[in-house]
Each structure stands twice: as C-alpha cells, then as structure tokens.
C-alpha cells in the first residue's frame, strides 16, 4: 500500500493517528516524502503519532540518525522509535551495551534540540527483550525523554505479559497492539481480549493516577491477520471497544 492508500484505510477505519515507517513510506533522509506524507496525513484529519525508524543505537552509523531526525521533524512526529542494538540482553557484550547506552544519549540530545522524544522498540533480540531488561536499560540511559514501547512478547502467556507491563508502565510511551498466538501466528485482536482489556485498564489507571502525564497514550494497531486491509475496520472497532473498557 502506498501512503495515500494507508491514509484512506486508516481514516476509513475511524482511527486517529499513524506511525509512519522508515522502511517503506518515509525513508530516512527523503525530505520530499516526509513533507508530502505529513501534508496528506493532516489533510485527512489524522495525526502523525511517531516515526518508526530502524536506527539501531550502538550499531547503526551515528550519522544515520541525522537523516532520521530530519525526516521526523519534517513529518511532524513528536517521537522516534529506535532499537536497542541487534542482540538480546544476555548475548550482548558489555562493550556493545556501553555503545548502545552512549549512542542513545547522543541521539536523545540531538532529538531534544528539535523537540522530539525517543522510544525503544520493545522486542526480542535487542536489549529490550523483556520488561526487566528494558527498565534496566532505560535507567542506565537515565534520560526523561527516552522511553519504551510495549507489546505482548512472543509466546508469553497473558499473566506474564501483564506482569511485564506492570514493571515497565512508568516508561511506556506507546503500545503496539496485535494478537499473535502461538508464536507469530496472526490472530484477530479479539483472540486475546482478556489480556488486552486488562492491559488497557492498567494503562488508564496509571495515567489517571499521574496528573503530570501529558496527553493521550498512542495505541497503534501493528498487524492484522493476513495483512488484509479489508478487516482493518473490524480490528479498529475491537481496539476502540477494548481501550474504552
């Protein structure tokens, strides 16, 4: 799908925002694409939630982040998604971990100058391969403008996934919503209704208890079964029902 088709599908499903990816629709450094996609998004009455980059802190060439940041600013994104390296916590040598931490701080300083925050993808084969690991990394980075996404880890039962959310909840910037089970089998969002309803209850209560938390939390549909845009309205309706309690 090209950007215009994505926008039409998102608007048609009654969703409110889009996280634009650097892998296809808004390549890092393509200023023309960023401007055009921003204009089209806003004309449709949608918001740009974030810029989904594939910048790997401590692994990507540092100058690559300059292009990522330029695109994010032109896109009107207040947040850039980055990745914490390319190996899991237990497989990452101390020196590589240090590089990831230092590069995150460097990128965060550049982004802060443009009014943009960073958030790590919460993902296996990175230093955010579990809630405890992600929290430890964020504490080590030690910056208020660096947070994490959250999503249910692959093959983790509901209770354990929710326990991880409880651990990380203070640092969650956005949620990637999908239902995979088992493994990476894509199911309708409703297939894990109990887990998602409990997750959103936790997130609502947490934000209500913290008066200083600004604005709504972005909840982003990341996958639909079969990559079928025709079922996006159904999945969006399920998401709204779950978020609303």
pLDDT tens string 95-132: 999 999 999 999 999 999 999 999 999 999 999 999 99
Q: What is the pLDDT of residue 92?
A: 99
Q: What is the pLDDT of residue 212?
A: 61
The average pLDDT across 132-140 equals 99
* Residue 211 confidence class, pLDDT cut points 50, 70, 90: low
- Helix pair 232-243, 3-12: axis angle to 10 deg: 50
Strand 146-150 with 218-221, pairing: unpaired
Q: Give pTM, 2 decimals.
A: 0.97
pLDDT value at 82 more than 80: yes
* Residue 245 confidence class, pLDDT cut points 50, 70, 90: low
Q: What is the pLDDT of residue 6?
A: 98
Q: pLDDT, tens digit, for every residue of 188-198?
A: 999 999 999 99
DSSP collapsed to 3 states, the chain: CCHHHHHHHHHHCCCCEEEEECCCCCCCCCHHHHHHHHHHHHHCCCEEEEEEEEEECCCCCCCHHHHHHHHHHHHCCCEEEEECCCCCCCCCCHHHHHHHHHHHHHHHHHHHHCCCEEEECCCCCCCCCCHHHHHHHHHHHCCCCEEEEECCCCCCCHHHHHHHHHHHHHHEEEEEECEECCCCCEECHHHHHHHHHHHHHHHHHHHHHCCCCCCCCEEEECCCHHHCHHHHHHHHHHHHHHHCC
Q: What is the pLDDT of residue 216?
A: 75
Task: Please state, rounded to an integer, the average pLDDT across all residues of the chain.
Answer: 97
Q: What is the pLDDT of residue 95?
A: 99
DSSP collapsed to 3 states, 90-134: CCCCHHHHHHHHHHHHHHHHHHHHCCCEEEECCCCCCCCCCHHHH
pLDDT value at 214 more than 60: no
Domain 3-243 has CATH 3.20.20.150: yes
pLDDT value at 213 more than 80: no
Q: pLDDT, tens digit, for every residue of 228-241?
A: 999 999 999 999 99
pLDDT value at 208 more than 90: no
The average pLDDT across 12-22 equals 98
* Residue 242 confidence class, pLDDT cut points 50, 70, 90: very high
pLDDT cut 90: percent of the chain above it? 95
Sign of the Cα pseudo-torsion (112, 116, 117, 122, in order): negative
């Amino acid at each position: 799908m090209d950007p215009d088709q994505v926008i039409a599908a998102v608007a048609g499903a009654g969703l409110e925002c889009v996280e634009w990816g650097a892998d296809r629709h808004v390549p890092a450094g393509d200023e023309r694409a960023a401007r055009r996609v921003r204009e089209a998004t806003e004309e449709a009455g949608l918001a740009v939630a974030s810029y989904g980059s594939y910048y790997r802190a401590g692994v990507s060439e540092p100058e690559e982040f300059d292009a990522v940041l330029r695109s994010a600013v032109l896109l009107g994104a207040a947040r850039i998604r980055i990745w914490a390296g390319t190996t899991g916590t237990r497989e990452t040598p101390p020196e590589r971990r240090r590089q990831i931490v230092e590069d995150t701080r460097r990128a965060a300083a550049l982004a802060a100058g443009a009014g943009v925050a960073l958030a790590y993808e919460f993902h296996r084969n990175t230093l955010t391969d579990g809630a405890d690991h992600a929290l430890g990394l964020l504490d080590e980075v030690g910056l208020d403008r660096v947070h994490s996404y959250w999503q249910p880890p692959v093959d983790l039962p509901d209770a354990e996934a929710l326990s991880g959310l409880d651990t990380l909840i203070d640092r969650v910037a956005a949620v990637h919503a999908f239902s995979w089970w088992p493994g990476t089998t894509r199911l309708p969002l409703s297939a894990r209704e109990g887990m998602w309803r409990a997750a959103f209850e936790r997130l609502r209560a947490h934000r209500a208890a913290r008066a200083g938390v600004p604005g709504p939390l972005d909840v982003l549909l990341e996958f639909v079964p079969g990559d079928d845009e025709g079922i996006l309205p159904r999945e969006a309706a399920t998401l709204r029902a779950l978020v609303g309690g």
